[in-house]
Structure 1
Amino acid sequence: MKIFPRALSLAASLLAASAAISQTYPSAPVTMVVPFAAGSGTDAVARIVARKLGERLKQPVLIDNRAGANAQIAAQFVAKAKPDGYTLFMTTNTSHSANPSLVLNLKYDPIKDFTPVARVGELPFALVVGKNDPAKTLKEWIAQAKAQPGKFSYATPNSTSLVASETIKRIAGLDVVAIPYKSSPQALTDLIGGSVQMYVVDLGSGMGMINAGSVRVLGVTTKEPLKSMPDAVPIVKEVPGFDLTSWNGIFGPAGMPRPVVDKLNQELQEVLADKGVQKSLSQLGFETWPTKTPEEFTQYVADQLAHWGGLVKQAGIRPE
């Protein structure tokens, strides 16, 4: 096979350009967009990761909270951003797994509009009630709700709480009302105040209230007990058929240069392997679970998109 000098020159130029991009990035602060409010579990995780990532990149990684519309506002913003590696997206299954099945005429494509960089891990959720609720187990709470149809309500500031609550509602045959919230902290405040009777909360924002005894845990969304909450019973034990996992990961806009993606992926591997970072995240109930390559994360996102489509259908939720 004959190789032309021009082709060799072009290949050499591309390699040189890639190397240059990798060596100079980043030369300015990086913004990490979070689709939920300050004080949420995803926000807490993002701040821990961003701080260490900034140290490794030798540039600040700044958090930009763009809460609202079940993560759609932030997702649309990132999808339209310049794909130069200076706008990242710390998001969850809400924007990339559930919304396509929950929202009619979604204004972004979770696959085509983003560049997967790395999965970060799993943020478990727990079903909590107020500390004065007479129910001590999920079965007892379900019995209460059945005895008072239409009188109980649950808080839902994100897709995980919505799908989890609606799945329990459907499997157990309950008549309970969904109350939408913009943020997890407000949902917790209203649960403690008695405005709502149940909330499936991410441990990142709920652990403080749980440890303080302000709310009581009746179950966790993981299949097995958590290291951070070994006495908490998995919901599936009392609601057979329940299967839900919440994940966190980092994306950029579609079209990011591969050298930048690789550099970010490699640095995130180091960040998530750091013992101090792991300890800080574990205090939130978060479990680090990084993907080794962008391709592995890309496949995971596609698989979860299909999985959550099934969960939404099982829960009987119609897109709006």
Structure 2
Amino acid sequence: MKRSSLLRAGALALCAAALPAAWAQQAWPGKPIRLIVPFPAGGATDLFARTLSQKMGEKLGTTLVIDNKPGAGGAIGSDLAAKAPADGYTLLLATTSTHSIGPAINAKLPYDTVRDFAPIAHVGDAPSIMLVPNSSPAKTVREWIEYAKKNPGKLNYASSGNGTIVQLTAELFKAQAGVFVTHIPYKGTALAIPDLISGKIDVLFDALPTGMPHVRDGRLRALGVTSLQRSPLAPELPAIADVLPGFESNTWFGLYGPKGLPADLVARVNAAANEAVSDPEVRDKLSKLGIAPATGTPAQFAAMVAQDAAKWKKIITERKIISD
């Protein structure tokens, strides 16, 4: 066989070997994608997932099927996602609880949030608001701090339980403000609201969508929002950071895949997520959930989570916080 014929034959053989892989890559997604939500149906994370999944599915040309796997503060669903095949057909909608707070408060997690996941996209942030009873003498964040300093150990704050973002937000506030306020844990902030309204509780850092209706109905007073700047979801409220520089507490939402997810699939899911949360219809739905859309690269998402996790680990360690 002539040399030119041998070269052509070799080239054809190489092309033939590469075709199945190329076709497989082009075919993705060739079936529905499972989006694991590690919290119960009907909660904020689940509603976010359902709002996001429809538009993302349109962008990717497939269906994102919500799979609720609640339990252990999000650890059960997160572990399932970490151990899934890295083929692009299993994604996880993670939160501050699963990837920032969880590792610091539970040394026995069955997964490593850095080693076992591929960060894909930061898709949203939900700030909280600082609520006080109408009977409180404080009308501003600065006045409340002064009030607390004049009454050390006499005031209290409510939370939705030990080790929750609600407790950690209050402890971060105490640390930066230099005040001593007693913790009263409840099984959910909804149960604390009546005691806050009556004045039995002095302050609560509640989620914006559940707290603001009580403010707008005149039953409670909101002093500030926990985002770094005023939130477009409640523009009338000043940022607590105006008084305590750098103070910030958000529940973030983000997409992960199993470690080893191919870079091109990460890029495609990231692009679809960014486009989805930028859609006016999606943004409107998220605002009603009290969530501000977020966009960015996988690297930016990973850096944000690392910084957030370090912040909460410091508070958990210094304040000796344990979970329920």
Q: 1:228 aligns with which of 229, 233, 245?
A: 233
Whole-angstrom distance in 1 between the partners of 2:210 and 2:13:
54
Q: Which residue of 1 aligns with 2:302?
A: 298
Q: Which residue of 1 aligns with 2:6?
A: none
Q: Which residue of 1 aligns with 2:179?
A: 173
Which residues of 2 match residues 1-320 of structure 1 at below 5 A?
13=17, 16-28=20-32, 30-130=33-133, 135-139=138-142, 141=144, 143=147, 147=151, 149=153, 152-156=156-160, 159-170=164-175, 171-179=177-185, 181=187, 186-192=188-194, 194=196, 197-213=202-218, 215-239=220-244, 242-292=247-297, 294-313=298-317, 316-318=319-321
Whole-angstrom distance in 1 between the partners of 2:241 and 2:12:
59
Q: Which residue of 1 aligns with 2:5?
A: none
Whole-angstrom distance in 1 between the partners of 2:13 and 2:312:
47
What CA RMSD, in Å, does the superposition of the two structures yield over aligned residues? 3.5
Larger Cα-atom Rg = 2
Which letter maps to 1:32?
L
TM-superposition CA deviations, 1:46-92 (whole Å, max 9, x none):
22111212333444323334444333233223223333333321122
TM-score by length of 1: 0.79
Tell me how many residue pairs correspond in the alignment. Answer: 310
> SS of the residue aligned with 1:117?
strand
Q: CA deviation at 1:110?
A: 0.6
Q: CA deviation at 1:9?
A: 6.3
Whole-angstrom distance in 2 between the partners of 1:217 and 1:282:
18
CA 1:37/1:305 → structure 2, altered by over 3 Å: closer, same or farther?
same
Whole-angstrom distance in 1 between the partners of 2:150 and 2:37:
37
Q: Which residue of 1 aligns with 2:4?
A: none
TM-score by length of 2: 0.78
CA 1:193/1:21 → structure 2, altered by over 3 Å: closer, same or farther?
farther
Which letter maps to 2:280?
K
TM-superposition CA deviations, 1:10-38 (whole Å, max 9, x none):
7974575155234241413x332233444
> SS of the residue aligned with 2:235?
coil
CA 1:202/1:193 → structure 2, altered by over 3 Å: closer, same or farther?
same
Whole-angstrom distance in 1 between the partners of 2:12 and 2:309:
41
CA 1:295/1:132 → structure 2, altered by over 3 Å: closer, same or farther?
same
CA 1:179/1:267 → structure 2, altered by over 3 Å: closer, same or farther?
same
> SS of the residue aligned with 1:99?
helix
Identity of aligned residues (%): 30
Given that 1:21 and 1:259 are in contact with CA atoms closer than 8 Å, whether structure 2 keeps it comes out as no
CA 1:239/1:83 → structure 2, altered by over 3 Å: closer, same or farther?
same
TM-superposition CA deviations, 1:102-150 (whole Å, max 9, x none):
2233322111111211111322221224566665434555536964836
> SS of the residue aligned with 2:76?
helix
CA 1:280/1:107 → structure 2, altered by over 3 Å: closer, same or farther?
same
Q: Greater shift after overlay, 300-309 or 272-281? A: 300-309
Which letter maps to 1:298?
A
Whole-angstrom distance in 1 between the partners of 2:174 and 2:117:
33
Whole-angstrom distance in 1 between the partners of 2:319 and 2:41:
31
CA 1:57/1:207 → structure 2, altered by over 3 Å: closer, same or farther?
farther
Given that 2:154 and 2:181 are in contact with CA atoms closer than 8 Å, whether structure 1 keeps it comes out as yes
> SS of the residue aligned with 1:228?
coil
Whole-angstrom distance in 2 between the partners of 1:134 and 1:196:
13
Structure 1 unaligned spans of 5+: none
Whole-angstrom distance in 2 between the partners of 1:188 and 1:11:
62
Whole-angstrom distance in 2 between the partners of 1:309 and 1:58:
40
Which letter maps to 2:173?
I
Structure 2 unaligned spans of 5+: 1-8
Given that 1:48 and 1:277 are in contact with CA atoms closer than 8 Å, whether structure 2 keeps it comes out as yes
Given that 1:41 and 1:204 are in contact with CA atoms closer than 8 Å, whether structure 2 keeps it comes out as no
Given that 2:228 and 2:246 are in contact with CA atoms closer than 8 Å, whether structure 1 keeps it comes out as no
